[in-house]
Amino acid sequence: MKTIFKRCDMGIKYLEIRNSGGKVWLVPFSSVRKGLELYQPSSKKGNILKKYLSVFKFLPFIIEKFGVHIVHIHIDEDFAQSIDDLFDKEDIYYSIFLGTPGRDNKPTIQLYTAKEILGYCKYSANPRICDAFRREAECLKNLHRKGIRAVPEVLLLEEIDDGQTVFIQSTGKRFGASTQHVITQRQILFLLDVSEKTRQKCEFSETDYYKFLCDFKKNHHKFPFAYDKESVEKLIQIIECEMQKVKDYFFYHGDFTPWNTYLTENDTLEAFDFEYAKYTYPKLLDIFHFFTQVKMYENGENAEKIWKDFMELFVRGKLSTLFENVYFSYMLYLVDITNLYIERDYGAFSEETTELLKIRYELMLRCYSAYLEV
């Protein structure tokens, strides 16, 4: 199978960044600051590294303390030529994220010149991931057909060798584009616009959400810790009963976070990375994902603190008008995201994944209890 990137003593000089979670980034030594647009740290140490690595790179004894080492990378000539032909540009750089460790691992490449970010490339030989690329490409085309422009366009989807598929998307992102890590009117307006343009009428049994709820019914016994099976089964029954009354369903990004959104030069929000997208989900569940992921991954909050923040923002705060019953809607989201992680990592739960599942499970039970009390 063709190897797009490989370590080689005679290759191009790169900086290899490793974090505590096993994630790896490869950034061209000659273009560190712009290459780090792909690097989205959630820790204080990572943010310091992103700010100063372009200076620290000349001091190996310092960068090694941050988990950074100098390596050399060879780029496949045929792949490089195809990228040159696609963009009709010279001196294209490649900044590489080797993907989240796990069975769904897939590298992502930021393609850029000294003046602009050209696009993002993902590739894999895993049949499951290649199928996901095709679904994501069709998803982006559908969104554009519905008049949603704040998302990437498909530039290339092609099998290059032995089942290995390359998927390249456009981007409107500019160097130095800011990323918001708190919920503002921009996120709300983006999601409301998407909801308005993707509304579908259908029975619950025909929806994507119903399929995932059925999966959760089969999967919840796979929790990697002791749990209240009776309560989980009762909340599933409540969801099944209540969702029978719902006839309108909407597009769901599935991973709407600060790391998959950015602000344009016009101060509007654009989103990317639609690999978990679904077409028929309850309305606005993406806003819960944005909220919860930041709380867990950036702030390191436990279930009690997240619940307190949820109450302040969604129950008593500015987002309280978005949902008819916010406890029920948050419970819908938590069931979905919990099932995703159980399915994805079953049999290989890391310590971190287990702890985060415990947080989601506890939040789910809090929502269930609060819903019964309303």
Q: What are phi and psi of 200, to 5 degrees?
A: -135, 140
* Together in a domain, 243 and 119: no
Question: Considering the domain boundaries, does residue 330 fall inside one?
Answer: yes
* Together in a domain, 155 and 257: no
Beta-carbon count within 10 A of 6 CB: 11
CATH number at residue 258: 3.90.1200.10
Structural domain ending residue among the three candidates 169, 193, 212: 169
In this structure, which long-range contacts are made by residues 64-69, counting pairs with CB atoms below 8 Å and at least 24 apart in sequence?
66/17, 67/17, 67/18, 67/19, 68/15, 68/16, 68/17, 68/18, 69/15, 69/16
Of 1, 266, 17, 251, nearest to 148 by C-alpha is 251
| CB distance 27 to 39 below 8 Å | yes
Mean pLDDT calculated for residue range 102-129 = 92
pTM score, whole prediction? 0.91
| CA distances (Å), origin 219, targets 136, 208, 232, 330, 367 | 25, 17, 11, 20, 20
Question: Considering the domain boundaries, does residue 180 fall inside one?
Answer: no
Q: What is the pLDDT of residue 337?
A: 97
Mean pLDDT calculated for residue range 59-88 = 93
Q: Which amino acid is at 26?
A: L
Q: How is residue 99 annotated by DSSP? A: -
Question: Considering the domain boundaries, does residue 177 fall inside one?
Answer: no
* Together in a domain, 101 and 214: no
* Together in a domain, 346 and 289: yes
Is the pLDDT confidence value at 1 over 60? no
Question: Considering the domain boundaries, does residue 175 fall inside one?
Answer: no
Q: What is the pLDDT of residue 47?
A: 86
Structural domain ending residue among the three candidates 169, 204, 225: 169
* Together in a domain, 54 and 198: no
* Together in a domain, 146 and 215: no
Using N-to-C axis directions, what is the helix angle for 351-373 and 303-310, rounded to 10°? Answer: 40
Question: Considering the domain boundaries, does residue 104 fall inside one?
Answer: yes
* Together in a domain, 20 and 153: yes
- Structural domain boundaries, residue 211: 185-373
Average pLDDT value over all residues in the chain:
94
Q: What is the pLDDT of residue 295?
A: 97
Is the pLDDT confidence value at 57 over 70? yes
Counting DSSP H helices and E strands in the chain, the numbers are 12, 13
pLDDT in tens, 138-184: 999 999 999 999 999 999 999 887 778 999 999 999 998 988 999 99
Is the pLDDT confidence value at 100 over 90? no
| CB distance 84 to 94 below 8 Å | no
Q: What is the pLDDT of residue 313?
A: 97
Structural domain ending residue among the three candidates 169, 198, 223: 169
Q: Is 342 exposed, middle or buried (0-12, 13-18, 19+ CB in 10 A)?
A: buried
Question: Considering the domain boundaries, does residue 199 fall inside one?
Answer: yes
Mean pLDDT calculated for residue range 254-274 = 93
Mean pLDDT calculated for residue range 287-299 = 96
What is the domain count for the chain?
2
pLDDT in tens, 325-362: 999 999 999 999 999 999 988 888 889 899 999 999 99
Q: Which residues contact 344 (CB under 8 A, 6 or more apart)?
A: 102, 103, 104
Alpha-carbon Rg for the chain in angstroms: 21
pLDDT > 70 fraction of the chain, expressed in percent and rounded: 99
| CB distance 253 to 288 below 8 Å | no
| CA distances (Å), origin 292, targets 70, 106, 258, 273, 274 | 35, 24, 11, 18, 18
* Together in a domain, 137 and 12: yes
| CB distance 326 to 315 below 8 Å | yes
* Together in a domain, 161 and 198: no
* Together in a domain, 51 and 153: yes
Question: Considering the domain boundaries, does residue 130 fall inside one?
Answer: yes
Question: How big is the CA angle at 130 (ends 117 and 144), to the nearest 5 degrees?
Answer: 55
* Together in a domain, 131 and 35: yes
Q: What is the pLDDT of residue 287?
A: 98
Q: What is the pLDDT of residue 345?
A: 85
**Which segment of 98-102, 257-261, 370-374 scores lowest on mean pLDDT?**
98-102
What is the C-alpha to C-alpha distance for residues 25 and 80, in angstroms, rounded to an integer? 19
Q: What is the pLDDT of residue 163?
A: 78
* Together in a domain, 231 and 369: yes
Question: Considering the domain boundaries, does residue 128 fall inside one?
Answer: yes
